[in-house]
Structure 1
Amino acid sequence: MIVTLTPNPSIDRSISLPQLLHGEVNRASASRVDPGGKGINVSRAIAAQGSRTLAVLPAGGPEGALMVELLRAAGVDHLTVPVAGTLRMNVALLEPDGTTTKVNEPGPSLTDADVEALLARTVEGYVAATSTSTSTGTSTATSTSTSAGTAAGDGSASGWVVGCGSLPPGAPVELFAMLVERARAVGARVAVDSSGAPLAAAVQAGPDLIKPNLEELEELVGAALPTLADVGRAAEELVRRGVGRVVVSLGGDGALVVGPDGTAHASAAVAVPLSTVGAGDCLLAGVLHALDGGLGPGDALAAGVRWGSAAVALPGSAVPTAADVAAVHAVLTPDPDLTTALR
């Protein structure tokens, strides 16, 4: 079972253009609206594969009502915390060569009570979901990961709680660190996908997994990382500091996983890239889904790369189906060439 917390969700409007002309009137060739935010995308991707997930999020204003409708239509189970402000609307401008220009709103301000409610609902939702799946036998995700996940070196017999994305105004920078402590107290493994100060604070709490992209990892360690070896060394240092595993998404250069049991790299070719929006979120969803099902870190990374690459071949922030993922071939390299230059 995978429970996601998205403190700053969004309604994502994706607009396709023949070419983005700055300072001129642009006419769209297509558009779509999706529920967005990193954690929302993770849950959407998992639900699209027919697996159980629960999304926890604040909701307010007309965009909040639209978010609930979109999540229901996508088949994503969710828990909302009512807030005074309105959810943000993000716009992505997509060009035929895959170039994506994004404009993200800041999101509503959260009070201390809002933050406490989000954390509490996330933990309560995880406990309720895993208790139900264990007692009724309707899902084998938790019990399956008990033996296979432990054998693969991925920690205790538990599902995952995932804290994702940016923080809205009013949220404490330690929000994801607080999530790590509270979720672990009820037996969950915890992953964090954020950036900047919130990610740095979460690292201090020692999450079981983090998933920065290259730029986010460079910001986290305060250094340029021009080669795969540099990325690997930076990730190894984070593992020594208490992070269980580091998954680094590298765009067209694939992804790297570093943990106490070693390093692996995976990549996949995308013939016709349409949109990178949400691709990293789908990668994370694939990794966690595979780990929760008992796969080891290398095979889980390959699964994540397949999910992420399948997303790149879809318009806007659409998430891949099982058929989309099955059509992607990923190359897993347990002993990658660390001299590879990135970008």
Structure 2
Amino acid sequence: MILTLTLNPAIDMSYQLDELKIDTVNRCDRVIKTAGGKGLNVTRVLKCVNADVCATGLLGGKTGEFIEQELDWSSIHHDFVHIKGNTRHCLAIMHEGNQTEILESGPSIDEEEAEAFFHEFDRLLDQASIVTASGSLPKGLSKSFYQKLIERATKKNKKFLLDTSGEALELGIKAHPYLIKPNQEELAAIMGTEINTEADVLAGVKKLASMGVTYVVVSLGKDGALGYVDGRAFVAKPPKIYAVNPVGSGDSMIAGLAYGLDRGLSPEEALKYGVTFGTLNATEEKTGYVQADQVEDFKERITLRVLE
């Protein structure tokens, strides 16, 4: 089973407007509401390909109930810890070719709720083979929270795939997760230097590997991703596509990597699935979605270039 973590989920609300008028009333009849959060995007993609997946995290209030109902409707297995605060909303306004976002920070998690999650995580770990953790941490949780989860997973010999940023990522790296997936901007922030060329990326991933990360993947947008593991470096590049909605493609890449690794495939083959899922997501209007019948054919069109 692949266990996906979403510690700061949201109800994602998308409003489609022809024009956004400031300081007056805007009426909208094109509204989409979904169970949101990076980890839930990972979950949905894995469900698309019938992977054995369970979603966990922290949910509270009526908004939390809505997310659980949405997951039930999609027949997605979930086991969340309930909190006193209300799960947040995130609003995206699509207008005149632009996307304006308003993101709530979300509820504050107290010590008792954090301990309850540790307890539930330990229980779910016994059933899991792979763990993915995606997105930001909610208020109240220490920036070392992912670090502590990685340590627990490592003790049970579970592969932990971490996709976050900032201090939570820097501290998480200290616990030696199996895989991290920074983009070029995040890699530059970690390294404290500019990342402009493939050689820069390669130098960065080698530095991260020396810090105890087994498998480093750097997403390169339309150019795919660079992977580094056990002294081997390689780039998986997809064919050209027409991108409809690239939102969630990074999460879809994590889903593909988890899918490949859970099947016991090599890091190179797992990266091909990662790039496949990430690219196919960008061709769909939905966020966190791939068409299962396209996966294997598209994967065969991924080119793998060995760097060293």
TM-score of the pair, normalised by structure 2: 0.91
Name 2:211's counterpart in structure 1.
241
- Deviation at 1:190? 1.0
Distance 1:28 1:266 in 2: 41
- What amino acid sits opposite 2:103 in the alignment? N
Deviations 1:188-239 (A, max 9, x none): 1111110000000000111110111222221122111011211111011100
Deviations 1:269-310 (A, max 9, x none): 453322222111011100111011121111111111110111
- Partners of 1:57 and 1:118 within 8 A in 2: yes
Q: 1:20 to 1:326 in 2, by over 3 A?
A: farther
- Partners of 2:88 and 2:106 within 8 A in 1: yes
Identify unmatched segments of 5+ residues in structure 2.
none
Q: 1:18 to 1:273 in 2, by over 3 A?
A: farther
- Partners of 1:299 and 1:332 within 8 A in 2: no
**Stretch moving more, 55-64 or 247-256:** 247-256
1:166 to 114, 136, 139: 136
Structure 1: 4+ residue segments shifted above 6 A: 19-27
Name 2:58's counterpart in structure 1.
58
- Partners of 1:107 and 1:169 within 8 A in 2: yes
Name 1:112's counterpart in structure 2.
111
Distance 1:251 1:278 in 2: 12
Name 2:43's counterpart in structure 1.
43
Distance 1:94 1:224 in 2: 32
- Partners of 2:3 and 2:55 within 8 A in 1: yes
Name 1:299's counterpart in structure 2.
269
- Partners of 2:7 and 2:136 within 8 A in 1: yes
Matches of residues 44-123 of structure 1 in structure 2 within 5 Å?
Answer: 44-94=44-94, 100-123=99-122
Deviations 1:229-281 (A, max 9, x none): 11111011100110111111122221111111411112224533222221110
- What amino acid sits opposite 1:14 in the alignment? S
**Alignment length, in residue pairs?**
307
TM-score of the pair, normalised by structure 1: 0.82
Identify unmatched segments of 5+ residues in structure 1.
131-158, 339-343
- Partners of 2:42 and 2:288 within 8 A in 1: no
Matches of residues 1-343 of structure 1 in structure 2 within 5 Å?
Answer: 1-17=1-17, 30-94=30-94, 100-127=99-126, 129-130=127-128, 159-269=129-239, 271-326=241-296, 328=298, 330-336=301-307
- Deviation at 1:64? 0.3
The SS at the match of 1:334 is strand
- Deviation at 1:124? 0.7
**Stretch moving more, 252-261 or 265-274:** 265-274
Name 1:145's counterpart in structure 2.
none
Cα RMSD between the aligned structures?
Answer: 2.4
The SS at the match of 1:8 is coil
Distance 2:297 2:94 in 1: 23
The SS at the match of 1:184 is helix
Q: 1:89 to 1:327 in 2, by over 3 A?
A: farther
- Deviation at 1:316? 4.2
Q: 1:77 to 1:2 in 2, by over 3 A?
A: same
Q: Which has the higher contact order (CA 8 A, sep 6+)?
A: 1
Q: 1:183 to 1:318 in 2, by over 3 A?
A: closer
Distance 2:196 2:176 in 1: 26
- Deviation at 1:40? 1.5
